[in-house]
Structure 1
C-alpha cells in the first residue's frame, strides 16, 4: 500500500511486539499517547478486531474534525489497519516487527485525502510535514508509556 499522499513514521521501542501490542490494542487508550486525538468513541458492538468502528475527535492546531474509522486489518502483535471515512478519507496502518534483539520496530503509515474545502491535494501536501511531526511525537509518547 503506497500512494503519493502516504506518510510514514517509525520508532524502535525496547519492548517485545506483544508488549507494544498490549499498549495499542485498546483503541480508546490511543488518546493517552496521540496528542492529536482528544476523544475516541467506539460506535460498533465490537470493541476490538476487524470491523470495529469508532469516531476520533481530532485536533491539529486550529483544525478540529471527527474522524470516522473502521478497523480493516487486525493481526495480533503484528498489524492494525484502519479505513478513514469522515471528512478526511484514506487508510492507516500500524505494523510491529520484532528486531533481532527482541525489540519492536513500530511503523505508522497513513494515506489521507482532504476535501476541496480543506485544500484537496494541495492541503494534503501542506499537511504532510505537519502530520509527520505530530505523529513522530505520538510515537515518542508511545515509546515512553
Structure 2
C-alpha cells in the first residue's frame, strides 16, 4: 500500500511470443474473457485502443458480480497499456506491460494499483485480499499461456 491508499498487486508470465505478437494477444479485450478468471471483457469506446479508448469487464462468481468501466490513460504498443478503473467497487489503475525476453519471447506483467472499497476497513483487509487476488492473477496468466500455446 502506498501513501494514497492505493494497494498494489502484480503477476507476470513468460510468453513464447515476440513482444508485438504478445501485445496483439493480450490487448484483444474480448479474448481476455477466455483467460481472465470469472471475467467477461469488451471494448466500449474507440474499439478499446489508444488514450481515451474504453473497456468494460463484468466479473461475477455464482451470479454475484459487478461491471468495471475503464478508460485507457496510457497507450504505448507493443509495450504498455494503463487503464483507469472508474467504478465504485474497483478504483485505481491497471497496467499491462510487455518486455522482450532474451530468447525471442516476452514477459507479460499485469499490475493493479487499486483503492479498495470501504475506506480504512478495505485497506486493512488488503493484507488478506492481496494473496488471494494475486493467486487469481497467476492462475489467469497460466490460462493465458495455455491459450497462446494451444
Query: Normalized against structure 1, the TM-score is what?
Result: 0.86
1:137 to 1:109, Cα distance in 2 relative to 1, 3 A = same
Q: Name the CA distance, whole Å, in 1 between partners of 2:110 and 2:117.
A: 23
Match of 1:129 in 2: 131
Q: Name the CA distance, whole Å, in 1 between partners of 2:62 and 2:109.
A: 24
Structure 2: gaps of 5 or more residues: none
Could you tell me how far 1:117 is from its partner in structure 2?
8.0
Residue 23 (structure 1) aligned with residue 18 (structure 2): no
Could you tell me how far 1:41 is from its partner in structure 2?
3.7
8 Å CA contact 1:36, 1:134 repeated in 2: no
Match of 1:104 in 2: 106
- Equivalent residue for 1:88, pick from 62, 84, 90: 90
| Further displaced range: 69-78 or 58-67 | 58-67
Match of 2:67 in 1: 66
| Further displaced range: 41-50 or 71-80 | 41-50
RMSD: 2.3
Could you tell me how far 1:44 is from its partner in structure 2?
2.0
Could you tell me how far 1:77 is from its partner in structure 2?
1.3
Q: Name the CA distance, whole Å, in 1 between partners of 2:57 and 2:19.
A: 25
8 Å CA contact 1:96, 1:106 repeated in 2: yes
Q: Name the CA distance, whole Å, in 2 between partners of 1:84 and 1:15.
A: 28
8 Å CA contact 1:112, 1:124 repeated in 2: no
Match of 1:8 in 2: 10
Match of 1:143 in 2: 145
Structure 1: gaps of 5 or more residues: none
Could you tell me how far 1:29 is from its partner in structure 2?
1.7
Q: SS of the residue aligned with 2:78?
A: coil
Match of 2:52 in 1: 51
8 Å CA contact 2:7, 2:116 repeated in 1: no
Q: SS of the residue aligned with 1:51?
A: coil
Could you tell me how far 1:123 is from its partner in structure 2?
3.1
